[in-house]
Chains A and B, each alone.
Chain A
């Protein structure tokens, strides 16, 4: 009997209703006291061998027989009319197979009209034409021969200017204020809160656009067999790509297969198919050959989106003892052409107990590429402002930063006033403070031109996961098991974690479990890998499927071996009596049925409406500032997380270290530099856009508090995003403690620090962080 249950599911702070099919009994969550054999063990990744010897095949590594190569001609201007496109010289080159553009060649079109190209480029890198050739060198030569006549127009890249000119200069004919109104959130009354306050502080902060720069650039290879399309694509969601292609091409879902066996990083930028995938599919259908479109590093920086630039104004009211009475945030968010306004107010609304909160977000359109999700979108930006402002409040009140945070500890969700499924932030503060050696009121230490001090920040994020997510666990003839689900592993370790969960439930050694993911052909829907929700969504489904497979197997054993069902169990590939006596190997048992296999089915159950699932963390930085050069070294970083049950502590620490390092990049070096006049990006490559390298890293200590959480049957919450959220404010607060200077604008480059230390005027340059 299948039951249908309605449940609320969250993704990066946005809620939606889902209906879930519940078959049979939901299995009980592991209690906090449960110690797994495999769950909780630091097993190396299942696929690590393939990754160290080069045999793991990524989308970039797909070269099909007869494959053609495609590349877009892109606008060098951030705003221009496209007057004329001439592909004739390019098309005359031997090896150039086809060329497509908006005005002078037949449109590339599916059943529906598809806009791949437009006659007005509204950001640098906008698609103007597409060439297809037999090899990349021919293609590159041909691109040079495409003649495009542009009429350059005035770009708006500064969001404040774009808002000012909202009435007179609408970008692409649409309101520059995204959605036409600010996004407003309010609880209580901030006016009342400020009048109740003993102290009110006002603070302004600015954050820059950051680029994902995944090591594997976006790309797809498309090929058709009859009327069925297969695309190999570097994505965080094979199911999204599949649905998007089916819709845009006007073909049934069953005719589209998306494959992403291995993929080289997404960080939020790879949730959809994008024009490159669609164009590859269309061109492949038109030309009858596989078509590959892989972006180069410059295109990757120009057209795949970014974390939004923001301007954040805070007003915070508090009593003398530190009790918060009101927080108000007004923020301008540069969303580019038509990006989404990430919730910069998330931390403000959620982190602390405060009855009066108001957030106004002005998502602002500009002539830049549409912004997109980037690891904890909104929260990374907003947490920088909030956590720096809070430290300013602490110093104004003469309170220790941790005491101020504890004073305003939220015991329940602040928006809906419902209990958390678990929260161990207090313990995280304690553990982190202990490890870094936090002493309230500690003076910075000086050595020559160098000053050392410590800073901290809190973080809150989502990561509870939810339905729909489906899995099967097959017990194979030889007694091994295979987990099947249309999820994908983007480097977080999904393969290994779900393998461990199945192995645990089946009492099998991990070597006997294989995991088949990254292919929609299995039809077992699983959500995209993002929002820190993968494990908490698919993990419970895998456990249910393994449980189902185990029950079936025991049913078979009981009848075949003529023993009572209650008297037997599974252990390391054997049917055993509960006393331990071996009765039959699983392989021998299944052999009696002509090599049968057993398939267990599992679905992610509904979420509990009485609880709010959040992840928490406390992050601590010890920095050394060189007052003569403005350089900052993060000597030690301690990151303590409450992410529920830890399935694999080794992979968890990799996620934490990776998030902290990406956060250090955001805090100290990274940022898109745009020429304010022309709107052209100045650092669209890995030489000029500075991602962290091995020499930038000192000690990073990852820690976790394993809070009991029974909101899903494995007890896990997410970890992908939390580690990046508090890094910038922890570092900025440490720099303040070391130098007495509050830096308000990211990235905290040596130049900015030096200028602030020497009290030098800001110099004006047309190169700005937009």
Chain B
């Protein structure tokens, strides 16, 4: 086997995360997820699979959900990135978080940041989603503990308050 071409040059890039600007030097192949977690210390987004199948790494990029494990950090330099750490300031985010707590829509909690972010995007795009719409929308977020019934309930309830 031959060595892969080694990119000696680190990329310099600017990221806007939760309203703050960061200037970073990163290996060009770094995913947004790794940069958030390792370089910036936003460990809310989790690495459940690193291959786009579990949703634990979901963040908002310009208001839309994005799997940060499949996103190169270098590709979102001109975007607004929001992680679970930032959504307390969003009134809808706060309501959702409280609804998750009240309904016990979490067990081990590892999938929870991704669930909350996906739910926030849903409530930002649809006023009063039906149960089935919620289920379909949330199908990309795996919860191995099986908190689904309560996650769905928490989102439905939050949508009524918002």
Binding site for B on A (CB under 8 A): 44-45, 47-58, 60-61, 63, 89, 93, 135-137, 141, 144-145, 147, 212-217, 262-265, 267, 296-297, 490-493, 650-651, 653-655, 657-662, 685-687, 691-695, 697, 700
The answer on a CB contact under 8 Å between A694 and B42 is no
Tell me, yes or no, whether B17 is within 8 Å of chain A by CB: no
The answer on a CB contact under 8 Å between B102 and A686 is no
Residues in B whose Cβ lies below 8 Å from that of A653: 104
CB distance from B54 to the nearest CB of A (A): 5
Q: A61-B37, A61-B43, A651-B104 are in contact. Are A214 and B144 (CB under 8 A)?
A: yes
Residues in B whose Cβ lies below 8 Å from that of A650: 104
Task: Give the residue among A48, A93, A685, A691 with the most B Cβ atoms within 10 A.
Answer: A48
Number of interface residues of B (CB under 8 A): 61
Residues in B whose Cβ lies below 8 Å from that of A654: 104, 107, 145, 147, 150
Q: A144-B1, A145-B1, A686-B142 are in contact. Are A52 and B101 (CB under 8 A)?
A: yes
Tell me, yes or no, whether B161 is within 8 Å of chain A by CB: no
Q: A49-B101, A657-B146, A686-B53 are in contact. Are A54 and B110 (CB under 8 A)?
A: no
Residues in A whose Cβ lies below 8 Å from that of B141: 694
Task: Give the residue among B43, B113, B146 with the most A Cβ atoms within 10 A.
Answer: B146
Residues in B whose Cβ lies below 8 Å from that of A63: 37-38, 41, 43
Tell me, yes or no, whether B62 is within 8 Å of chain A by CB: no
The answer on a CB contact under 8 Å between B143 and A145 is no
Tell me, yes or no, whether B152 is within 8 Å of chain A by CB: yes
Q: Mark B4-30, 1 if CB is under 8 A from A, else 0.
A: 101000000000000000000001011
A109 to B161 CA separation, bound complex (whole angstroms): 59
Question: What are 8 A-B contacts defined by CB distance under 8 Å?
Answer: A51-B109, A51-B112, A58-B46, A491-B145, A654-B107, A657-B148, A687-B51, A695-B139
Q: A51-B106, A693-B139 are in contact. Are A685 and B53 (CB under 8 A)?
A: yes
Tell me, yes or no, whether B156 is within 8 Å of chain A by CB: no
Residue in B closest to A692 when the chains form the complex, CB atoms: B146
The answer on a CB contact under 8 Å between B3 and A145 is yes
The answer on a CB contact under 8 Å between A661 and B54 is no
Known pairs A145-B3, A654-B104, A658-B147. 4 more at Cβ < 8 A?
A57-B43, A215-B108, A264-B111, A693-B142
Residue in B closest to A265 when the chains form the complex, CB atoms: B108
The answer on a CB contact under 8 Å between B3 and A660 is no
Q: A55-B85, A296-B50 are in contact. Are A144 and B4 (CB under 8 A)?
A: yes
Tell me, yes or no, whether B160 is within 8 Å of chain A by CB: no
A-B CB proximity, top 3 nearest:
A54-B44, A264-B110, A491-B108
The answer on a CB contact under 8 Å between A52 and B104 is no
The answer on a CB contact under 8 Å between B101 and A44 is yes
The answer on a CB contact under 8 Å between B110 and A58 is yes
A155 to B3 CA separation, bound complex (whole angstroms): 32
CB distance from B128 to the nearest CB of A (A): 18
Residues in B whose Cβ lies below 8 Å from that of A216: 46, 48, 108, 110
The answer on a CB contact under 8 Å between B56 and A215 is yes
Residue in A closest to B98 when the chains form the complex, CB atoms: A52
Residues in B whose Cβ lies below 8 Å from that of A215: 46, 48, 54, 56, 108, 110-111, 142-145
Say which residue of B51, B88, B113, B143 sits within 8 Å of A297 (CB atoms): B51
A217 to B144 CA separation, bound complex (whole angstroms): 12
Residue in A closest to B152 when the chains form the complex, CB atoms: A694
Residues in A whose Cβ lies below 8 Å from that of B135: 694-695, 697
Say which residue of B30, B49, B53, B138 sits within 8 Å of A694 (CB atoms): B138
Tell me, yes or no, whether B149 is within 8 Å of chain A by CB: yes
The answer on a CB contact under 8 Å between B84 and A695 is no
Tell me, yes or no, whether B127 is within 8 Å of chain A by CB: no
CB distance from B105 to the nearest CB of A (A): 9
A693 to B142 CA separation, bound complex (whole angstroms): 6
Tell me, yes or no, whether B83 is within 8 Å of chain A by CB: yes
The answer on a CB contact under 8 Å between A141 and B3 is yes
The answer on a CB contact under 8 Å between A54 and B83 is yes
Residues in A whose Cβ lies below 8 Å from that of B151: 694
The answer on a CB contact under 8 Å between B43 and A53 is no
Task: Give the residue among A216, A267, A491, A694 with the most B Cβ atoms within 10 A.
Answer: A694
Residue in B closest to A267 when the chains form the complex, CB atoms: B144
CB distance from B59 to the nearest CB of A (A): 11
The answer on a CB contact under 8 Å between B139 and A52 is no
CB distance from A70 to the nearest CB of B (A): 15
Q: Mark B121-162, 1 if CB is under 8 A from A, else 0.
A: 000000000000011101111111111111110000000000
A236 to B110 CA separation, bound complex (whole angstroms): 15
A376 to B75 CA separation, bound complex (whole angstroms): 46
Residue in B closest to A135 when the chains form the complex, CB atoms: B27
Residues in A whose Cβ lies below 8 Å from that of B56: 215
Residues in B whose Cβ lies below 8 Å from that of A267: 144
